[in-house]
Structure 1
Amino acid sequence: MEWIVGNVKGKRRYDSSGRVEQARRNRDAILQAAERQLVESGYAGATIAAIAAEAGVSVETIYKAFGGKAGLVRALYERGLAGAGPVPAYERSDAMRERESDPMTVMREWGLLTAEVASLVTPIRLLMRSAAVTDQEMATLLDDIDGERLQRMRHHARYLKDRGYLREGVSVDEATDILWVCSSAELYELLVLKRGWSLSRFAQYVTHYMVSSLLPGRHHEGPLQTAPS
């Protein structure tokens, strides 16, 4: 009996950290392979089998984790929304709003975050747009993420209204639409991908557009400096 009790007391607790880390590495490898193949081959051309082979995992692993190609696209888009920093962009944005009392600073930070996120999500957003023409699952996903972005922009617009930052005559709906345009993949596509603007120039343009459209005149008496592309 003493041996049994002693053996039970001395039993080691199972450590799952290794499996969690392996799952994280698998996920990163899958998303990296998926992004490359989806961008290069298009939504219809990329296959789960090819993505699995490149990532070094089984097809079943991808289906269990993401549910298929549409799930992979959604995951890539959400990864892009987090931005490039260790803290997700939306968390940085909300934290900045709470600590800042100067609307010009808020706009500048939003301009920088918009450029950062747009550089990551626009290729995936354009992939969705192209695939949605013939694929109903992609069309539904595109509608979903557009709806989520609209809600986020309305959240920002209400913040501006509640703080008293909006120029007189600008409604929450109008502010929402302006922020919606600024955060669109289409604006980034036109200015950065097609016209070759740098990220810094794009960020300053977005800031200037928001300031001149939303804030009282005292906030935009002179033009913002624009960095060369």
Structure 2
Amino acid sequence: MGYDNSGRAAAAKANRTRVLAAARAAFLESGWAGTTIRGVAEGAGVSQETVYKTFGNKAALLKAVHDVAMAGDDEPVSVADRPAAQRVRAATTPEEGAAAYAAMAREISERAGPLMRVMLASRGGDADLEAYAATLDEQRLVGTTIHLGHWAERGWLRTDATRARDIVWMLISPAVHEMTVARGWSGDDYEAWLAETLRATILTDS
């Protein structure tokens, strides 16, 4: 009879879930500088060694927490395969595409926004955090390239695909979303503005 390690796997997953929850709470309450692996471990009821073995360092832990916020859960399903992204791909007109993309950007920004405030407030003071921020920028560029590629194939772009990709990459920057929050915009305001801006800057009328 083979060895059944399902119990160990379940325990590891439960530990990961507790660590992610404790880390999110710590980052939001204490910021980047005030959050420690020791504090996260104590909050999760695990050893510091468990946190280090599972995530590596503090920047990797923040990335894992952010990934959960981006996706909505810790399941191994990429953002590109989530319902919001599927609705963008299923759009049949530029207007529908802009609306779906804006809705997706809003959904992600609202979930990840609080953590992005932590990162944006601490940039420039930590090499690991800077590397993590650069990784996020690159991931956003990859995702934008994929969606803009679909739009280009359908003939929806009024400018070349590379220029359009760069415009969208900038528009959906966390820093831009945070500026709308700072100005008192609602989620509806942000979504409507983004959809309108996509239609006006990169998409054809039909």
State the TM-score, normalizing by the size of structure 1: 0.80
Q: Within 2, Cα distance between the matches of 1:132 and 1:74? A: 14
Instruction: State the alpha-carbon separation in 2 of the partners of residues 161 and 204 from structure 1.
Output: 22
Aligned counterparts, 1:38-57, within 5 A? 38-57=27-46
Find out whether 1:91 has 2:81 as its counterpart: yes
CA distance in 2 between counterparts of 1:76 and 1:182 reads 23
Structure-2 separation of matches of 1:81 and 1:69: 18
The AA in structure 2 aligned to 1:65 is T
For 1:62, the equivalent position in structure 2 comes to 51
Kindly provide the amino acid, as one letter, of the partner of residue 176 in structure 2.
Answer: L
Structure 1 unmatched ranges of 5 or more: 1-10, 220-229
Q: Tell which deviates more after alignment, 88-97 or 171-180.
A: 88-97
Q: Per-residue displacement from partner, 1:66-101 (whole Å, max 9, x unpaired)?
A: 012111011112112214698654213553344332
Shift of 1:151: 2.2
Indicate conservation of the 8 Å contact 1:115/1:203, yes or no: yes
Amino acid in structure 1 at the alignment position of 2:130? A
Deviation at 1:63, TM superposition (A): 0.2
The equivalent of 1:6 in structure 2 is: none
Provide closer, same or farther for how the CA distance between residues 184 and 128 of structure 1 changes in structure 2, counting only shifts above 3 A: same
Superposition RMSD on alpha carbons, in Å?
A: 2.2
Give the corresponding residue for 2:62.
73
Is 1:66–1:72's contact at 8 Å kept on the other side of the alignment? Answer: yes
CA contact (8 A) 1:118 1:185 kept: yes
Match of 1:213 in 2: 201
TM-score of the pair, normalised by structure 2: 0.88
Q: Judge conservation of contact 1:84–1:117 (CA < 8 Å) in 2.
A: no
Q: Structure 2: which amino acid aligns with 1:33?
A: A
Larger relative contact order (C-alpha < 8 A, sep ≥ 6)?
2
- Structure 2: which amino acid aligns with 1:90? A
**Cα distance in 1 between the residues matched to 2:73 and 2:42:** 27
How far the C-alpha of 1:34 sits from its partner, in A, is 0.8
Establish whether residue 200 from structure 1 lines up as the match of residue 164 from structure 2.
Answer: no
Q: Is residue 110–residue 207 contact of structure 1 (8 Å, CA) maintained in 2? A: yes
**Are the aligned partners of 1:31 and 1:76 in contact in 2 as well (CA < 8 Å)?**
yes
Deviates more, 1:149-158 or 1:108-117: 149-158
Whose radius of gyration is greater, 1 or 2?
Answer: 1
Q: 1:41 to 1:135 in 2, by over 3 A?
A: same
Deviations 1:181-204 (A, max 9, x none): 232111211112x12222222212
Q: What is residue 120 of structure 1 aligned with on the other side? A: 111
Aligned residue for 1:135? 126
Task: Tell me the distance in 1 between the aligned counterparts of 2:189 and 2:45.
Answer: 40
SS of the residue corresponding to residue 155 of structure 2 reads coil
What's the CA shift string for 1:102-126, capped at 9, x where partnerless? Answer: 2222221111110110012222233
- % identical aligned pairs: 30
Shift of the alpha carbon at 1:210?
0.8
What are the ranges of 5 or more consecutive residues in structure 2 without an aligned counterpart? none
Is contact 1:115–1:202 with CA below 8 Å preserved after alignment? yes
Change (3 A) 1:20 1:84: closer
CA distance in structure 1 between the partners assigned to 2:73 and 2:109 by the alignment: 11
